[in-house]
Structure 1
Amino acid sequence: MWLLTMLMQTVLFSVLHSTHLTGIGLRCDMIPEGVTAPKCAEQIDRYKIEISGNPDTYVPNEQYTVFLRTSANADPQNKFTHFIISVVNENPEKTIGSENSIGNLQLYGDAMTKFSDSCQNAVVETDHQPKAEIQFLWLAPPKGGGCVKFKATVVESVDVWYSEDGDLTKSVCEEAPDTEDTQPKILKHCCTCDEAKYEVTFEGLWSRNTHPKDFPSTSRVTRFSDIIGASHTINYTFWNYGDLASEGLQELAEYGNTRLLESELKAKSDQIRTIIKARGVSFPNITGKTFAVFRVDSKHHLMSIVSMIDPSPDWIVGVSGLELCLRNCSWTESKVLNLYVWPIRRLKFDYPDDSRSPFYDPTGTPMKPFAILKLTRQRLYEKSCDFQPNDNVDENNSNCETTNWSDWSPCSVTCGRGVKYKQRRYKNDDSKYICHKKLTERATCEATQKYCPQIRRKDLEDPMCELSSWSPWSSCSVTCGKGTKT
């Protein structure tokens, strides 16, 4: 009887999934052939799909590791012998099989996974051995990809299988693109090893043309005070939108004096990498530019700056807690932000809702920015990382116990520089709502092939996309001072 059962499993599960032809491609049924019972409706939390970093959204063209694994709060003896995990776009109008639809799947080459011979954009097992976890790489779709859904079926035996319920379905949607009026989300952990040097440019825009209502009658008195700021940790900021001002910030906002605020920054030197200072701009050059440079690292990956606008009661312009670290363990190359006026809270065309407000506009036209902030990454400094996890967080809370760290994943690329991951999980799955331990470590890695071929993407292989060689640099745009060349 035992031998007959094993033979049945071998035959019945040799093909885990069935397919149906449609007018535009193949659709995975997700129902394994030969099962003797309906899918299990109980204990549907035995298995789960996870994406590295547990993101709610994806960044276009960023690479992620996708896991199908036994849940942390399930019996560790639970194993699956067969599985299929497929990826579809939630928009039915997206072309099936198109890279713009679901991105790109890549296998680690660990002999546990292979692409399905019957289903597009699907990964299946290579053998019948019990498994607690499998993983593969997913390159997210380019911009405009919309929402992508991962669906999985796992089979323990002919009469025990689960499909698409609970955490066996996971949807992630494209992250809303940053605009010149928005800041990226702050990362709890910056995973880069390298440090970076940035140039920040503050450019004034305030003028009688941009903000004619109640503009000072005498332009000669208009100015932005000296700019001051810092690159700092997530545990510190010297000002925040809508928060009460410190004495140093109050002195800057009321009088344009930066000395007390600079003293406050120096007193927090353990939270700061660079104090940023630049000369203010004033009449007749109030729409001019001023510059400063600063450095960031994996600990000090935020930057904040501020300047007083004069004449005003206590108005400032600036940015608070601008995130420069990226989730792919690199640094933002450039960023442009519009700066608006902040007293206790940001002034807008409809706040205060009073016609006497200098920025009130009954037509509802949005207020124009008072200044622009431009950041340009000038240089990277390669550093080695110490990847010892910080277990001091929640260390005295028994509800925050975790599993051991997994081994490092393979490098995410086959050539050049990529990313590798290691993860751990809370022993109690509900701990993620109350605990704050670091569960994912990322690190940069170099593939066996250090340098990639010059042509890598499919679109570059198209003769229509062939590029000429770079032209020589143009002459400098100015005859003295700082200019540009292209």
Structure 2
Amino acid sequence: MMSSGILVPGWLQQLLVLLLRFTLSCSTTVNLTNGTECTARGPASYILVFTGHWSPQTFPKQYPLFRPPAQWSKLMAVTHNEQYRLWQEGTLASAGMQSFAEVGLTVELVKEAKEARKRRVVGSMYRTAGILSGIGHSSTELLLTPRSPLLSLIVKVIPSPDWFVGVDSLNLCEGGQWKQEVTIDLHPFDAGTDSGFTFSSPNFPSIPPENITMITSQKPNHPANSFYYPRLTELPPLATIWLKRQARSPVRQQNRVSNHILPDVTKPQRFSETPLDCEVSMWSSWGLCHGPCSRGGLRHRTRYIHLKPANSGTQCPELEEQEECTPHNCLTYQ
């Protein structure tokens, strides 16, 4: 190797190459950690509260009233490090995630987490009871360690094809400090394993499966979608999680927390009512003429209501229309 006309010995060239490889290796290691290394001296105890805000005022379109009514599955939470993902937007759902998102079963997810625990990338798993209405809350206590400072959780939207809300790899440790309090609004996600458009859609597997994606007010861009609200720039929060650090160690799998320590987020929230515009069908074909073709004869066509308006949404247009018959369109009743 030549540099500025100076001959570099072969042994020095080899040493420089080794140093370069070592430097690149160190850089790669830093990038893989994504800044999640926790240097806190000990574990941290948290109260976790999940609150559903799914109401017919905030989400009036096709709101499920029965068989079953709007409700939430049990919550599953996992503490882990950066080498594990319970779920991740933009990637395919695991078999366990598919089972949970479609029918609310946690068996496969627990198996997957237990396998990850053998590799020491998962800390603990927690579950809470479901909520039998769209509005309500469930809670538990968590213990996070510096080895597993990340929290992921999921709750299924019931009924739905494969929709859920959740948190992916929330880091509760910044450097050497545990966060004291965190509140996060949750929005619906599609697991990509079922192609149904509405809350009550029949089972219709996605072949091949699609990536996990967030559902927005205009995505999927289809009027039949239960979360399709084209007048909104974004959906209101469907749920919220609240985490508060505690000074004591948690009671394992405790699902009831004293009311005096619950935040305001667990109380009924008053969000703006979402306007729902009327949706009507296409016009039917014109009927036959009633009366003489050349004088006073009329023909009619109709349409029907797909979706009634709510919360000051646009009212329905006329459902019947008539026009005078002319010689070129005149077919009369006999």
Which residue of structure 1 aligns with residue 14 of structure 2? none
Q: Which runs of 5+ in 2 are unaligned?
A: 1-32, 191-211, 250-255, 263-334
Which residue of structure 1 aligns with residue 153 of structure 2? 305
String of CA shifts for 1:163-222, please: whole Å, max 9, x gaps: xxxxxxxxxxxxxxxxxxxxxx96232121221011111111111111111212428522
Which residue of structure 2 aligns with residue 295 of structure 1? 143
Which residue of structure 2 aligns with residue 215 of structure 1? 63
Which residue of structure 1 aligns with residue 167 of structure 2? 319
Which residue of structure 1 aligns with residue 243 of structure 2? 375
Which residue of structure 2 aligns with residue 274 of structure 1? 124
1:485 Cα deviation from its structure 2 partner: 6.5
Is the 8 Å Cα contact of residues 228 and 306 (structure 1) preserved in structure 2? Answer: yes
1:227 equivalent among 75, 82, 85: 75
Matched, 1:362 2:230: yes
Give the aligned residue type for 2:186.
Answer: L
Matched, 1:265 2:113: yes
CA distance in 1: counterparts of 2:231 and 2:85, whole angstroms = 36
Is the 8 Å Cα contact of residues 186 and 322 (structure 1) preserved in structure 2? Answer: no
String of CA shifts for 1:310-361, please: whole Å, max 9, x gaps: 111100111010010013x110001001111111300001211222222222
Is the 8 Å Cα contact of residues 190 and 326 (structure 1) preserved in structure 2? Answer: yes
Name the CA shift for 1:202/1:485 in 2 (closer, same or farther; >3 Å).
Answer: closer
String of CA shifts for 1:119-138, please: whole Å, max 9, x gaps: xxxxxxxxxxxxxxxxxxxx
SS at match of 1:221: coil
Q: Which runs of 5+ in 1 are unaligned?
A: 1-184, 382-479
Name the CA shift for 1:306/1:318 in 2 (closer, same or farther; >3 Å).
Answer: same
Is the 8 Å Cα contact of residues 152 and 170 (structure 2) preserved in structure 1? Answer: yes
Which residue of structure 1 aligns with residue 259 of structure 2? 483
Structure number with the bigger relative contact order (C-alpha 8 A, sep ≥ 6) is: 2
1:273 Cα deviation from its structure 2 partner: 1.5
Bigger share in helix: 2
TM-score normalised by structure 2 residue count = 0.57
Is the 8 Å Cα contact of residues 52 and 239 (structure 2) preserved in structure 1? Answer: yes
CA distance in 2: counterparts of 1:201 and 1:229, whole angstroms = 12
Is the 8 Å Cα contact of residues 228 and 275 (structure 1) preserved in structure 2? Answer: yes
CA distance in 1: counterparts of 2:77 and 2:261, whole angstroms = 29
Is the 8 Å Cα contact of residues 68 and 159 (structure 2) preserved in structure 1? Answer: no
Is the 8 Å Cα contact of residues 43 and 144 (structure 2) preserved in structure 1? Answer: yes
Is the 8 Å Cα contact of residues 187 and 325 (structure 1) preserved in structure 2? Answer: no
CA distance in 2: counterparts of 1:219 and 1:322, whole angstroms = 34
CA distance in 1: counterparts of 2:151 and 2:261, whole angstroms = 28
TM-score normalised by structure 1 residue count = 0.39
Name the CA shift for 1:481/1:202 in 2 (closer, same or farther; >3 Å).
Answer: closer
Give the aligned residue type for 1:377.
Answer: R
Q: How many residues align?
A: 202
Name the CA shift for 1:485/1:305 in 2 (closer, same or farther; >3 Å).
Answer: closer
String of CA shifts for 1:69-109, please: whole Å, max 9, x gaps: xxxxxxxxxxxxxxxxxxxxxxxxxxxxxxxxxxxxxxxxx
Which residue of structure 2 aligns with residue 245 of structure 1? 93
Is the 8 Å Cα contact of residues 187 and 323 (structure 1) preserved in structure 2? Answer: no
Please provide the CA RMSD for this pair: 2.4
Is the 8 Å Cα contact of residues 302 and 324 (structure 1) preserved in structure 2? Answer: yes
Which residue of structure 2 aligns with residue 206 of structure 1? 54
CA distance in 1: counterparts of 2:242 and 2:261, whole angstroms = 17
1:295 Cα deviation from its structure 2 partner: 1.2
1:365 Cα deviation from its structure 2 partner: 3.4
Alignment of 1:321-340 (within 5 A): 321-327=169-175, 329-340=176-187
Give the aligned residue type for 1:337.
Answer: I
Name the CA shift for 1:306/1:281 in 2 (closer, same or farther; >3 Å).
Answer: same
